[in-house]
Every structure is written in structure tokens, then in C-alpha cells.
Amino acid sequence: QVQLVESGGGLVQPGGSLRLSCTASGVMLGIYTMGWFRQAPEKQRELVASITSGDRTYYRDSVKGRFSISRDDDKNMVYLQMNSLKPSDTAVYYCNRAEGTPFLYDYWGQGTQVTVFS
């Protein structure tokens, strides 16, 4: 019943920006720590950023200063602003619960593709 739909990905040149959106249904996100994850070809899925219900944020070192995670609980949405993009940011990006059992743990959905190249 829980659905997490990511959008906003695309093809962008190095140094460019994208804003990803995660729209949830079947669950109220307000009390949960939410995160953005990404998976590049031949690599494991990794946590990129997370945000608690109190807006405490975490970023992996490789994106600090470039990415910003935010949430709008009234809209039941989570966002990821991605600036100064690098080719190494190329991956499929997913949103999911970042603490405890993920809302989606078998199939994480389609995610949204981010491709950074010149």
C-alpha cells in the first residue's frame, strides 16, 4: 500500500543542478527519518542524505556542500536539491525510510535516473 514515487531526474552537464522529489502515499512521513539513496551500475545502493522528523540532516562526505535534503510533511514529500553535479553522481536515486525497516524493502520502485555527463 505504501508508494514512494521519485521524480526530477534527468541528464545534466557537470556542474549543473537537479531537484529530486519524492511523493509518498499510504503512509504519513512526518514521524519518520527519510533518506535519499542511489545505486550506480556495478555498485551497491548507498545512502546519500537523510532528514529526521525534526529536520536534522545527514550527508555522505562525497555530497556535503553540494546536496541539500528537505521535507514538506504537509505535502508528504521529500526533496533533494543537487548542485555542482559530477559524473560520479550518476545513478538511480530512490527515497525510502532511512531508519528502521524501510517502507519498501523488496522492490524499491523505479527511482529516478540522474545522468551527469558532458
**DSSP H or E stretch at residue 21:** strand 18-25
DSSP conformation letters of 41-66: TTS--EEEEEE-TT--EEE-GGGTTT
Which pLDDT tens digit goes with each residue over 38-52?
Answer: 999 999 999 999 999
Q: Give me the pLDDT at residue 30, please.
A: 97
Alpha-carbon gap, residue 36 to 112, rounded angstroms: 11
Residues 6 or more apart in contact with residue 41 via CB below 8 angstroms: none
Alpha-carbon gap, residue 20 to 10, rounded angstroms: 10
Mean of the pLDDT values across residues 73-93? 98
Question: What confidence category does residue 13 fall into, taking pLDDT thresholds of 50, 70 and 90?
Answer: very high
Mean of the pLDDT values across residues 21-31? 97
Residues forming a β-bridge with 61 = none
